[in-house]
Amino acid sequence: MARVVVDVMPKPEILDPQGQAVARALPRLGFEGVSDVRQGKHFELEVDDSVDDETLAKIAEGFLSNPVVEDFVVRRVDS
């Protein structure tokens, strides 16, 4: 078994109103110096050793992300 992490983020050119709302809230809460926030998704998958990188890329590209509006990064994490 291995742990695989998939991070999915809105593409840079896509408006992210949720991230903007978080960024605007920070000064109100007394936190200064944060100029921008982008909000995405973080997935942790427990996978058998038989699952190869190509399969993981298919999972990330075909299901966990929507390539029209999102980028993804797949990485294996030492457990």
* 17 forms part of the interface with other proteins (CB under 8 A): yes
Binding mask 38-67 for other proteins (x = CB under 8 A): -------------------------xx-x-
Taking CB under 8 A as the binding criterion, the range among 9-17, 28-36, 51-59, 71-79 that sits at the site for other proteins is 9-17
* Cα-to-chain-centroid distance, residue 16: 13
HEC-encoded secondary structure of 41-74: EEEEEEECCCCCHHHHHHHHHHHHCCCCCEEEEE
Note whether 34 binds other proteins by CB under 8 A: no
Q: What are the structure tokens assigned to 43, written together?
A: 């997935």
Contact 36, 23 (CB under 8 A): yes
Q: How do beta strands 2-10 and 70-77 pair?
A: antiparallel
Q: Does 12 bind other proteins (CB under 8 A)?
A: no
Q: Does 21 bind other proteins (CB under 8 A)?
A: yes
Residue numbers at the binding site for other proteins (CB under 8 A): 10, 14-15, 17-18, 21, 63-64, 66, 68-69
